Amino acid sequence: MPDPNAPEAPAQVNARTPDDYLDVMSKAVFQSGISWRVIDAKWPSTREAFHQFDTARVAALSEREIDALAADTRVIRNRRKIEAIVGNAARLLELQAEHGSIRKYLRSHGGFEGTVKALRKDFKFLGESGCYYLLWVVKEEVPPYEVWAAQHNQRPPRSTPGSRASRDSGAEAATDAASPGGTRRTGRR
């Protein structure tokens, strides 16, 4: 029987604008080295502090505004991560202009591994787990979590859709907090 306290896979979103992608990406940036529960608890106030992740607005933050965010108790006060999010916002706008959409950018790298490599090159504070999380949440194709986790020395989920524990209990999407999405999408939208 799976752990009833095990968190569920993160909700997926229909990302349409750079703001949508910046929101998801920034959550992955802030999570690096910090519990997902802490990030989830602070996320509504973090969105507010970052102007609902309006990409153009975040990309234009001044040093003074970054200083204010680094002192703002509503957010994770890590200046390097805040600066990374500002830079990532600017990069999203560049890629939007270059590719016509962020979705087209994500799909221009020949599959999951190529996309992860490009994301890690183009964005700051986005590691392997953060890339998996981002791609899962925005409904891009990802390998099954168990396969990806084994290849990247990640902790396996406690229970995922299709696993024995899941079938035995009828649970649909309980996964470890570090394992966004125990299933994979097989087609692109």
All structural domains of the chain with their residue ranges = 18-142
Structure confidence by residue, pLDDT tens digits, 49-96: 999 999 999 999 999 999 999 999 999 999 999 999 999 999 999 999
- Provide CATH code, domain 18-142: 1.10.340.30
Q: Which two tokens stand for residue 29?
A: 């940036």
Query: How big, in percent rounded to 5, are the helix, strand and coil portions of the chain?
Result: 55, 0, 45
DSSP 132-149: HHHHHHTT-----HHHHH
Structure confidence by residue, pLDDT tens digits, 168-184: 333 333 333 344 444 44
